[in-house]
């Protein structure tokens, strides 16, 4: 009800007005929760549940790797057994390029589909969400970028994540990409949250170690950015802290032994909790920078986050020492008798250690000095306009943060440690004025 009236408000008064009130809105806006099925075999149980809704024909959106691995077999068998007609669209490539969304819309319409199963990693799930919204509104996907740009709700969406990372099965967002401009674009709408989702660890046992690592670090980044930002609530803090604890315990296990079903299931749950946290409390500079790196260099999203996470947190640490200390206690890298500063340092060091354990480099091979200025500008624009960050970066500081991960850069943090100004103040760590009020929904 409230979501509908907010949707109307966004359309009638424009986004910026709503963004000014968005901090309050995220606390009040009812973000739907999908019915969750969890455990080995849950994708088949989801298929059985879909049968009960009597859809005419279901579009299953996935990527060619997932399709060839046969991961959809249990779901497809369940749909067949229950008499639900379906068509598979398995062409999605990483970061869901616009052209493939358009192709999916054509298939959805031509086949007379009235429901969608989003099956795969974040790229396939987000493509499915975008296809649903674009088909319902007869719009080009680019016209849906932003908040609540569609008048009509998409057909019912069901989700089966096959990576433990994005949490897209519970989020309001669909991240797509425009290869022509090298940009990643976000469509946000509460009606993009799937109706039902299955967290089936049996589908994740074949996920290669590098993808396990990168996607797991994406989930960790969601949880940390939601926790240290300014829109956290009791609910999102609980979800974020649980996710961080579960990821510390289970990601190294799943990385070393992908067949460990218990660790895979915990990781799927942790990514889901992190998704529930960040879709309400939002993300921050790590994502703002990672989105630019993904757009320009096609760096896998989780890898870009993992490489930037320690650098951004070191910049933010004077403003979030207490929260970093709580995270340290949660992941058991410090003692209650340690000072907050010591605990915060221990947590930052533990992220470095986690990256090393997961084979994640400290630098980004593709990064070039001549790109840094534009990358920083775009990242600051994204963060300033959208994210409730605890401390603002000037363009110069953002460039410095990104420069830390240049392949030729000595891997030692050399950021200035000036007295921070917390959000609400309009200054950055360097004292420069920031550009816009940072308020938004995802
Ligand atoms: N909607 C959201 O809320 C949200 C949140 C974070 C990130 N994202 C977006 O999601 C995308 C990244 O998603 P991702 O990290 O899950 O990666 P992905 O979907 O791009 O998949 C990465 C690779 O893993 C393969 N893969 C997936 N599941 C597999 C399995 N079970 N076994 C073997 N291989 C498998 C895929 O084929 C692909 O090659 C990015 O575009 C990112 O911006 C969206
Ligand atoms: Fe992410």
SS (H, E, C) the chain: CHHHHHHHHHHHHCHHHHHHCHHHHHHHCCCCCCEEEECCCHHHHHHHHHHCCCCCEEEEECCHHHHHCCCCHHHHHHHHHCCCEEEEECCCCCCCEHHHHHHHHHHHHHCCCCEEEEEECHHHHHHHHHHHHHHHHCCCHHHHCEECCCCCCCCCEEEEECCCCCCHHHCCEEEEEECCCCEEEEEECHHHCCCEEEECHHHCCCCCHHHHHHHHHHHHHHHHHHHHCCCCCHHHHHHHHHHHHHHHHHHHHHHHCCCCHHHHHHHHHHHHHHHHHHHHHCCCHHHHHHHHHHHHHCCCHHHHHHHHHHHHHHHHHHHCHHHHHHHHHHCCCCCCCCCHHHHHHHHHHHHHHHHHHCCCCCCCCCCCHHHHHHHHHHHHHHHHHHCCCCCECCHHHHHHHHHCCCCCCCCCCCCCCCCCCCECECEECCCCECCCCCCCCC
Question: Do 214 and 345 belong together in one domain?
Answer: yes
pLDDT in tens, 141-175: 999 999 899 999 999 999 999 999 999 999 999 99
Neighbours of 153 (CB within 10 A): 17
Residue 87 has pLDDT above 80, yes or no: yes
391, 316 contact by CB (below 8 A): yes
User: In this structure, is residue 418 part of a structural domain?
Assistant: no
Question: Do 59 and 19 belong together in one domain?
Answer: no
Ligand 2 geometric centre to CA of 125 (Å)? 13
34, 117 contact by CB (below 8 A): no
Question: Do 13 and 41 belong together in one domain?
Answer: no
Report how far residue 107's alpha carbon sits from residue 135's, in angstroms, rounded to the nearest whole number. Answer: 10
User: In this structure, is residue 425 part of a structural domain?
Assistant: no
Q: Supply the pLDDT for residue 25.
A: 54
- Label residue 385 by pLDDT band (50, 70, 90): confident
Question: Do 111 and 242 belong together in one domain?
Answer: no
At which residue do the structure tokens 């590098």 appear?
Answer: 210
What's the whole-number mean pLDDT along residues 303-331?
A: 98
| Residues within 6 Å of ligand 1 by CB | 63, 65-66, 69, 71, 94-95, 120-124, 126, 162-163, 165-166, 168, 171, 173-175, 184, 203-204, 206-207, 211, 215, 218, 301-302
User: Which tokens in the block code for residue 183?
Assistant: 């940009």
pLDDT in tens, 319-357: 999 999 999 999 999 999 999 999 999 999 999 999 999
CATH assignment at residue 52: 3.40.50.1970
User: In this structure, is residue 429 part of a structural domain?
Assistant: no
Report how far residue 64's alpha carbon sits from residue 135's, in angstroms, rounded to the nearest whole number. Answer: 22
Q: How far, in Å, are 137, 158, 361, 367, 423 from residue 296 at the CA level? A: 29, 31, 19, 9, 29
User: In this structure, is residue 45 part of a structural domain?
Assistant: yes
Question: Do 165 and 240 belong together in one domain?
Answer: no
Say whether pTM exceeds 0.75: yes
Task: Give the residue among 177, 67, 53, 46 at the shortest CA–CA distance from 117.
Answer: 46
What's the whole-number mean pLDDT along residues 49-73?
A: 98
At which residue do the structure tokens 């340690």 appear?
Answer: 338
Of 151, 169, 203, the last residue of a domain is 203
Of 161, 181, 203, the last residue of a domain is 203
User: In this structure, is residue 431 part of a structural domain?
Assistant: no
User: In this structure, is residue 428 part of a structural domain?
Assistant: no
Question: Do 17 and 111 belong together in one domain?
Answer: no
Question: Do 189 and 226 belong together in one domain?
Answer: no
Q: Supply the pLDDT for residue 16.
A: 33
User: In this structure, is residue 420 part of a structural domain?
Assistant: no
Question: Do 141 and 180 belong together in one domain?
Answer: yes
**Phi, psi of 219, deg, nearest 5:** -60, -40
Question: Do 242 and 218 belong together in one domain?
Answer: yes
Of 169, 203, 237, the last residue of a domain is 203
Residue 177 has pLDDT above 70, yes or no: yes
Neighbours of 423 (CB within 10 A): 18
Residue among 43, 96, 123 whose CB has most ligand 1 atoms within 8 A, to mutate: 123
Question: Do 199 and 250 belong together in one domain?
Answer: no
CATH assignment at residue 358: 1.20.1090.10
At which residue do the structure tokens 């058991």 appear?
Answer: 332
Question: Do 264 and 360 belong together in one domain?
Answer: yes
Provide the number of structural domains found in the chain.
Answer: 3
User: Which ligand has an atom closest to residue 301 CA?
Assistant: 1
Question: Do 185 and 280 belong together in one domain?
Answer: no
- Label residue 424 by pLDDT band (50, 70, 90): very low
Question: Which residues constitute the domain of residue 15?
Answer: 1-30
> Which ligand 1 atom sits nearest the alpha carbon of residue 94?
20
Q: Supply the pLDDT for residue 28.
A: 67
Residue among 34, 68, 94, 164 whose CB has most ligand 1 atoms within 8 A, to mutate: 94
380, 308 contact by CB (below 8 A): no
User: Which ligand has an atom closest to residue 226 CA?
Assistant: 2
User: In this structure, is residue 319 part of a structural domain?
Assistant: yes
Residue 139 has pLDDT above 60, yes or no: yes
What's the whole-number mean pLDDT along residues 33-51?
A: 98
390, 229 contact by CB (below 8 A): yes
Q: Supply the pLDDT for residue 306.
A: 98
pLDDT in tens, 206-231: 999 999 999 999 999 999 999 999 99
């Amino acid at each position: 009800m409230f979501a509908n009236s907010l949707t109307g408000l966004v359309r009638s008064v424009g986004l910026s007005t709503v963004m000014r009130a968005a901090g309050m809105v995220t606390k009040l806006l009812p973000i739907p929760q999908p019915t969750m099925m969890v455990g080995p075999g849950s994708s088949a149980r989801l298929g059985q549940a879909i049968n009960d809704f009597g859809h005419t024909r279901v579009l299953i959106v996935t990527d060619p790797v997932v399709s060839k691995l046969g991961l959809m077999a249990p779901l497809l068998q369940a749909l067949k057994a229950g008499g639900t007609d379906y068509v598979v669209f398995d062409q999605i490539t990483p970061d869901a390029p616009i052209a493939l969304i358009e192709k999916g819309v054509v298939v959805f319409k031509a086949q007379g589909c009235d429901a969608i199963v989003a099956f795969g990693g974040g790229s396939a799930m987000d493509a499915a969400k975008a296809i649903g919204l674009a088909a319902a509104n007869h719009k080009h996907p680019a016209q849906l970028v932003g908040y609540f740009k569609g008048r009509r709700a998409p057909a019912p969406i069901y989700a089966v994540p096959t990576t433990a990372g994005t949490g897209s099965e519970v989020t309001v967002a669909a991240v797509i990409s425009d290869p022509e401009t090298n940009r990643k674009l976000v469509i946000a709408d509460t009606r993009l949250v799937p109706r039902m989702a299955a967290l089936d660890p049996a589908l994740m046992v074949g996920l290669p170690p590098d993808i396990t690592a990168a996607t797991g670090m994406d989930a960790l980044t969601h949880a940390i950015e939601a926790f240290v930002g300014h829109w956290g609530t009791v609910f999102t803090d609980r979800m974020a802290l649980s996710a961080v604890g579960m990821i510390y315990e289970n990601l190294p296990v799943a990385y070393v032994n992908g067949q460990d079903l218990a660790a895979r299931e915990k990781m799927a749950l942790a990514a889901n909790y992190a998704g529930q946290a960040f879709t309400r409390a939002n993300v921050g500079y790590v994502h703002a920078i990672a989105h630019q790196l993904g757009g320009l260099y096609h760096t896998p999203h989780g890898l870009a986050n993992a490489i930037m996470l320690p650098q951004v947190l070191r910049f933010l640490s004077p403003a979030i020492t207490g929260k970093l200390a709580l995270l340290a206690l949660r992941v058991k890298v410090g003692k209650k008798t340690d000072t907050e500063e010591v605990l915060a340092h221990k947590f930052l060091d533990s992220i470095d250690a986690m990256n090393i354990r997961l084979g994640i480099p400290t630098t980004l091979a593709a990064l070039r000095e001549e790109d840094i200025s534009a990358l920083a500008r775009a990242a600051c624009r994204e963060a300033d306009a959208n994210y409730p960050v605890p401390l603002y970066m000037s363009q110069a500081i953002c460039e410095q943060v990104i420069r830390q991960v240049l392949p030729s850069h000595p891997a030692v943090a050399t950021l200035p440690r000036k007295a921070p100004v917390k959000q609400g103040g309009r200054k950055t760590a360097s004292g420069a004025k920031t550009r816009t009020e940072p308020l938004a929904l995802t």
